[in-house]
């Protein structure tokens, strides 16, 4: 476990930590967020949602993001995860939690699974790209 990054809801996952890990990297920010050696537990859905909430394009190079934007991103990752936990997770097909109930966070999704639909903030059409064989949905107007 020593090679894994911190839990995203812990105090060890903060802007200073993320800035240090991103420094000089040319990998996309979404890939950085999903790298378990950087931070554990931020999956594809939650990375899409946190980046949208933070207003950061998922394909933006991690080393080119300002400290202020990293502060916002860390806050958004934590908010998205807290909200998802409160809703019981994200049921997309037939997943159920340990209590046998589906997760209801799907109703809260702002971008994931909504490619081609209007952005809920600006009404621009949400775009989809593939990153590391994963679906990435974002708003070209709201996310820079």
What CA–CA distance (Å, rounded) separates 48 from 76? 11
Per DSSP, 119 falls in state: P
**Structural domain containing residue 121:** 15-138
Helix (H) or strand (E) holding 69: helix 67-86
Report pTM.
Answer: 0.89
Q: Which of 35, 16, 66, 63 is nearest to 131 (CA)?
A: 35
What CA–CA distance (Å, rounded) separates 72 from 69? 5
10 located within any domain:
no
5 located within any domain:
no
Q: What is the pLDDT of residue 108?
A: 79
| 77-123 residue pLDDT tens | 999 999 988 877 665 545 555 565 555 556 679 999 999 999 999 99
36 located within any domain:
yes
129 located within any domain:
yes
Split into its structural domains, the chain has a count of 1
């Amino acid at each position: 476990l020593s090679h894994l990054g911190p839990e995203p809801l812990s105090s060890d996952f903060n802007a200073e930590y993320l800035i240090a890990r991103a420094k000089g990297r040319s990998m996309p920010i979404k890939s950085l967020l999903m790298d378990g050696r950087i931070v554990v537990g931020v999956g594809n859905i939650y990375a899409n949602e946190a980046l949208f909430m933070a207003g950061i394009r998922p394909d933006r190079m991690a080393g080119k993001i300002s400290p202020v934007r990293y502060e916002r991103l860390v806050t958004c990752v934590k908010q998205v995860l807290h909200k998802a936990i409160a809703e019981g997770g994200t049921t997309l097909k037939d997943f159920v939690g340990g209590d046998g109930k589906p997760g209801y966070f799907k109703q809260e999704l702002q971008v994931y699974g909504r490619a081609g639909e209007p952005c809920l903030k600006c009404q621009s059409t949400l775009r989809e790209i593939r990153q590391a064989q994963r679906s990435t949905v974002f708003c070209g107007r709201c996310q820079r």
